Chain A
Amino acid sequence: MNKIIEFQDVSKSFGSLQVLENLNMHVNSGEKLALIGPSGSGKTTILRILMTLEKIDGGVVKVDGDYLWHQKIGDKLEPASEKHLHKMRKNICMVFQQFNLFPHLTVLNNIVQPQILIKGVDKVDASNKAEELLALVGLEGKESHYPHQLSGGQQQRVAIARALAMDPKIMLFDEVTSALDPELVEEVLSVLRQLAENTNTTMLTVTHEMNFARDFADRVLFFEHGRIIESGPPDIMFTNPKESRTRDFLKNFIGGI
């Protein structure tokens, strides 16, 4: 299988706090990956590194065969230029915990503007695609609303549609339901389940919703203190994990599984 993401000996610290320690991992093309683990274990940092929101301190990250944070100049690996990062970001898009919709634009324009500005799509095509995607996430008729007129769950679904409009090869979902009221969580998760089933896009999700992780993922990674403790298919990870630390962590969610 073709590895679309590779982390090789990646380290990352925030001040004196080491978040990732010589991390090695890969993600296959089209794979749906769930990253679970206690808060502060480095899961979100992995997504943020992939989205180029956080630099790495050591090691290399490869995306689609190319270095993400470096570029090869002659035989040497140099830190990536802004131009290189711009090129690499074409393949990746992230959905955030806080939605981060553009509050000054309507729902439709939130999805249309990036297509026009970044992908050079013409206005009619961009609108058509936005309408299609809004239907996909169950938000027909909300085109002319502003984000603040929508519930959190609706805003997050718009954010998902906005990310989809960019046709990324890799989608990153960073605790996308953590900021939502409990009754709104399911509407977002069901959209994600549906996406996971129907697309070839590689997807990484950081989540505390274990039921969702089980349905969504082909593979689950359990993190603690910046290291992968255990990984495997959800059936095994959630029913019969090898490591005691994984079991201890999952115990807290036993009611939900």
Chain B
Amino acid sequence: MDWSWLVVQDVMPKMLAGLVITIQATFGGAILAYALGLLLAILKMSKNKPLAFSVYWSSEFVRRTPLLVQLYFLFYVLPDFGIFLEPMTAGIIGLGLHFSTYTSEVFRAGIENVPKGQWEAAKSLNYTPYKTMRYVILPQAIPPMIPPLANYLITMFKETPLLSAITVVELFNSASIYSNSNYKYLEPMTLVGVFFLLVSIPAAIIANRLEQKYKPEKVR
């Protein structure tokens, strides 16, 4: 089989459009995963034991089941209950929900690493629980969380081809559709790999830098 630049030329515009969708899905999912993850982390640490317990187990449930199944559920099963989601919406919710269970562990560990004395000082100054979290705890907890959160962003990016299962025409699916209709697999699939590498290698380098930057525990 010979490499054909004509095929490359032909498929490229479709794949660039797919790449845009991939990036949108990644960032959409990441924003949801971070916001929801922080919320889950706070709920898991709640003093209300039944609440903390049920949040913990539901997030374990989501974490221990495959993302692909969850995507099917959101897109193909929910309509049976009268809930119809656009493919992209379902994809972002699926990615965000699934990865929020991972990021919530990052947030929880980060928050728990802030010394107890900080909570007590805030209470002594009469900070409300909200102000304590917002102005005292999170500003100290977030910097060390940045490297693992950046790594989850890269992982989410690499998981986006799963969205092709629910008809999202992201990078992989755009290539796949072309391949299946033209019986040309070499160029499109090679390009998919190249595109993923082009994004994820620089991203990994940035994540590594962040890790170096935030790694040494600052002297207190």
Q: Does A102 belong to the interface (CB within 8 Å)?
A: yes
Q: Does B64 belong to the interface (CB within 8 Å)?
A: no
Contact B125 A118 (CB under 8 A): yes
Given A114-B127, A118-B126, A162-B125, decide whether A100 and B120 contact each other with a Cβ distance below 8 A: yes
Across-interface contacts of A103 in B (CB, < 8 A): 140, 218, 220
Across-interface contacts of A117 in B (CB, < 8 A): 127, 131, 135
Q: Does B212 belong to the interface (CB within 8 Å)?
A: no
Of the 9-residue stretches A10-18, A91-99, A203-211, A221-229, which lies at the interface with chain B? A91-99
Across-interface contacts of A166 in B (CB, < 8 A): 125-126
Across-interface contacts of A162 in B (CB, < 8 A): 125
Q: Does B79 belong to the interface (CB within 8 Å)?
A: no
Q: Does B128 belong to the interface (CB within 8 Å)?
A: yes
Q: Does A188 belong to the interface (CB within 8 Å)?
A: no
Report the separation of the CA atoms of residues A86 and B127 in the bound assembly, to the nearest whole angstrom: 8
Contact B220 A118 (CB under 8 A): no
Query: Out of A52, A89, A90, A102, which one reaches B136, CB within 8 Å?
Result: A102
Other A-B contacts than A103-B220, A114-B127, 8 sampled, CB-CB below 8 A, are A82-B129, A90-B126, A93-B124, A113-B135, A117-B127, A118-B126, A147-B220, A148-B218
Q: Does B121 belong to the interface (CB within 8 Å)?
A: yes
Q: Does A51 belong to the interface (CB within 8 Å)?
A: yes
Report the separation of the CA atoms of residues A92 and B125 in the bound assembly, to the nearest whole angstrom: 8
B50-64 interface code vs A (CB 8 A; 1 in, 0 out): 000000000000000
Given A104-B139, A113-B135, A117-B135, decide whether A51 and B123 contact each other with a Cβ distance below 8 A: yes
Query: Considering the complex of A and B, which 5 residue pairs feature the smallest CB-CB distances, nearest first?
Result: A100-B121, A100-B117, A94-B124, A114-B125, A89-B126
Across-interface contacts of A82 in B (CB, < 8 A): 129
Question: Which residues of B approach A to under 8 Å, CB–CB?
Answer: 115, 117-118, 120-121, 123-129, 131, 135-136, 139-140, 218-220
Contact A86 B117 (CB under 8 A): no
Question: Which residues of A approach B to under 8 Å, CB–CB?
Answer: 51-53, 82, 86, 89-90, 92-94, 96, 98, 100-104, 113-114, 117-118, 147-148, 162-163, 166
Report the separation of the CA atoms of residues A100 and B128 in the bound assembly, to the nearest whole angstrom: 17
21 A-B residue pairings within 8 Å (CB atoms):
A51-B120, A51-B124, A52-B123, A53-B124, A89-B126, A92-B124, A93-B124, A93-B125, A96-B117, A96-B120, A96-B124, A98-B117, A102-B136, A103-B220, A104-B140, A118-B125, A118-B127, A118-B131, A148-B220, A163-B124, A166-B125
Across-interface contacts of B140 in A (CB, < 8 A): 102-104
Report the separation of the CA atoms of residues A118 and B124 in the bound assembly, to the nearest whole angstrom: 11
* Nearest CB of A to B217, in Å: 11
Across-interface contacts of A89 in B (CB, < 8 A): 123-124, 126
Across-interface contacts of B131 in A (CB, < 8 A): 117-118
Report the separation of the CA atoms of residues A114 and B121 in the bound assembly, to the nearest whole angstrom: 11
Across-interface contacts of B128 in A (CB, < 8 A): 86
Contact B121 A53 (CB under 8 A): no
* Nearest CB of B to A176, in Å: 13
Across-interface contacts of A114 in B (CB, < 8 A): 125-127
Report the separation of the CA atoms of residues A211 and B117 in the bound assembly, to the nearest whole angstrom: 28
Report the separation of the CA atoms of residues A102 and B121 in the bound assembly, to the nearest whole angstrom: 8
Across-interface contacts of B118 in A (CB, < 8 A): 100, 102
* Nearest CB of A to B148, in Å: 19
Across-interface contacts of B115 in A (CB, < 8 A): 98, 100
Report the separation of the CA atoms of residues A33 and B131 in the bound assembly, to the nearest whole angstrom: 32
* Nearest CB of B to A255, in Å: 32
Report the separation of the CA atoms of residues A148 and B128 in the bound assembly, to the nearest whole angstrom: 26
Report the separation of the CA atoms of residues A114 and B128 in the bound assembly, to the nearest whole angstrom: 11
Given A100-B117, A148-B218, decide whether A53 and B123 contact each other with a Cβ distance below 8 A: yes
